[in-house]
Amino acid sequence: MNGHLAAGDWDDRYHHIDQILNNPGPRTDPSFMAGDEVKDFLRNKCKVLVIGAGGLGCEILANLALSGFKDIHVIDMDTIDISNLNRQFLFRPKDVGKPKALVAAEFIMNRVPGVKVTPYYGKIQDKDDAYYMQFTLVVCGLDSVEARRWINATLVNLVDPDLPESLKPLIDGGTEGFKGQARVILPTVSSCYECSLEMLNKPTAFPICTIANTPRLPEHCIEWASVLEWPRVHTDKKLDTDDPEHIGWLFSVASARAKEFNIEGVTWSLTQGVVKNIIPAIASTNAIIAASCCNEAFKIATSSAAFLNNYFMLIGTEGVYSYTFEHEKRKDCPVCGGESLDLKINKEWTVDRLIELLVEKQDIQIKKPSLSTPTKQIYFQAPPQLEEATRPNLEKKVSELVDEGGEVTVTASSLPFNLSLRISYI
């Protein structure tokens, strides 16, 4: 350990990495503990979570293991498909059908001695706060907006100001064809994933009039088959994009329409790609983004150099263009923005009385607030039906609706952000 050889290590194993870790440079941060201390932290204390063991995940796992991280956990809910094998290099034909997390973990452990990779085959949502609390940092190679929003919100909520270790840096990589991005999110400190949600392109949707009347692309024919024809013909059956029979039906219907309009290029795989919203994955884009993510993970874990602040984007569609900028926190971000208040109120107070207090409070200046708990509405100002449905709650005691320490979300048109109250009773 430390400067000495650990089990499974050989002389000069980390020669190249140690060039960076042995000595401080003129611009390294004063907190950088060059030498044994930082190496001990990186190799024996630091625990990293990798979310996703797909295109980005395979690259990330290999990079982390080879840069000296030794305690790595990986979560993935998918199994290996034959189409993954061209770029997800931890998998072989014999692995098709097996869980990605398990196979990836085993491969890394066999290939890089001394590294422990703990897999979990399942959803990130299966795990609780205590699970996420054990990690030093989290690196994400995900392909869904929904999963990113979930892990982002979870890590923001995990931050306890009295517990510095509860702040888990989130390094998020993403690729789409030749484009990609890598970003560093310090939950509650810097701009979070939700802050930048508006930047995302909405999921591709073709205008329904084009689909219905003037198809020009094979995609238009496929959309016609899936959006208009499927529900018309199969009134009760929901389209299952994983069912080859369903895809086959769409393919034949789309092909017939393409023929009618003299459009070429409707294929089985394009049909599947369009309905499942698949964007071709490019191995080299994944490699660049994963490298950037792991570089950041290394710098954050060791303090050996300044880390990314905070958004790196790569556009490889025409030449290679990249740009780095600081994405700013959004004041009205529903995850990391807004205001939060601890409120101590009398056990006997009604909801009406609480609203009165909020309206009177000089420092927040709320007009017409709507209130809810994470699971139910307390009082809504509008629409009329909901106002009526929640009006009886005005007379009820807050303590009947909200537990001690419970959260109440307050929104109001006069508030450009949302306010969350933590209620305790006297």
Partner 1 sequence: MIKIWSMKKNEDAAAKKKPKTSAAQIRVQKDLTELELPSTMKTFFPDPADLLNFKLTIEPDEGMYKGGSFTFSFAINSNYPHEPPKVKCIPKIYHPNVDLEGNYLFLEPNADDPLNKEAAEEMRKSREQFLYNVKTSMRGGSIKGVQYDKVAVA
- What the block records as the tokens of 105 is 């973990």
Alpha-carbon distance of 69 to 63, in angstroms, equals 9
| Preceding amide of 203 cis, omega within 30 | no
Piece of 4-12, 102-110, 144-152, 352-360 that binds partner 1 (CB under 8 A): 144-152
Alpha-carbon distance of 58 to 50, in angstroms, equals 10
Indicate if the alpha-carbon torsion angle 241, 244, 246, 248 is positive or negative. positive
309 touching partner 1, by CB under 8 A = no
233 touching partner 1, by CB under 8 A = no
Write the DSSP string, 234-293: SSSPPP-TT-HHHHHHHHHHHHHHHHHTT-----HHHHHHHHTT---B-HHHHHHHHHHH
Catalytic residue among 195, 209, 294, 333: 209
38 touching partner 1, by CB under 8 A = yes
In the bound state with partner 1, the residue whose beta carbon lies nearer, of 5 and 306, is 306
Q: How far is the CB of 319 from partner 1 (least distance, A)?
A: 30
Residues 40-79 that bind partner 1 (CB under 8 A): 41, 45
Residue with tokens 């199994």: 79
145 touching partner 1, by CB under 8 A = yes
21 touching partner 1, by CB under 8 A = no
- What the block records as the tokens of 250 is 């769409």
- What the block records as the tokens of 133 is 């609390």
* 294 annotated active-site: no
188 touching partner 1, by CB under 8 A = yes
Beta bridge partners of 173: 141, 182
- What the block records as the tokens of 89 is 């290099």
Helices (H) then strands (E): counts for the chain: 15, 13
Question: Does residue 115 contact residue 93 with C-beta atoms inside 8 Å?
Answer: no
322 touching partner 1, by CB under 8 A = no
Residues 363-382 that bind partner 1 (CB under 8 A): 370, 372-374, 376-377, 380-382
151 touching partner 1, by CB under 8 A = no
In the bound state with partner 1, the residue whose beta carbon lies nearer, of 87 and 257, is 257
244 touching partner 1, by CB under 8 A = no
Q: How far is the CB of 77 from partner 1 (least distance, A)?
A: 17
Among the listed residues 18, 36, 176, 339, the single contact to partner 1 using CB under 8 A:
339
Piece of 50-58, 69-77, 228-236, 347-355 that binds partner 1 (CB under 8 A): 228-236
User: Which residues, in sequence order, are CB contacts of 356 under 8 Å at separation 6+?
Assistant: none
Among the listed residues 85, 109, 386, 394, the single contact to partner 1 using CB under 8 A:
386
Alpha-carbon distance of 380 to 408, in angstroms, equals 13
Among the listed residues 34, 109, 197, 364, the single contact to partner 1 using CB under 8 A:
197
In the bound state with partner 1, the residue whose beta carbon lies nearer, of 86 and 413, is 413
In the bound state with partner 1, the residue whose beta carbon lies nearer, of 11 and 342, is 342
Residues 118-137 that bind partner 1 (CB under 8 A): 136
Q: How far is the CB of 26 from partner 1 (least distance, A)?
A: 17
Q: How far is the CB of 303 from partner 1 (least distance, A)?
A: 5
In the bound state with partner 1, the residue whose beta carbon lies nearer, of 160 and 243, is 160
420 touching partner 1, by CB under 8 A = yes
Alpha-carbon distance of 315 to 161, in angstroms, equals 37
Number of residues this chain uses to bind partner 1 (CB under 8 A): 74
Alpha-carbon distance of 190 to 144, in angstroms, equals 22
Among the listed residues 54, 57, 119, 169, the single contact to partner 1 using CB under 8 A:
169
Going from the C-alpha of 193 to that of each of 55, 108, 176, the distances in angstroms are 21, 29, 17
Alpha helices in 67-99 (DSSP H): none
In the bound state with partner 1, the residue whose beta carbon lies nearer, of 26 and 374, is 374
260 touching partner 1, by CB under 8 A = no
What is the spatial order of strands in the sheet that 311-315 belongs to? 116-121, 71-76, 47-51, 137-141, 170-176, 179-185, 311-315, 321-325
Tell me the Cα Rg of the chain: 26
Residues 270-299 that bind partner 1 (CB under 8 A): none
Q: Which residues are catalytic?
A: 209
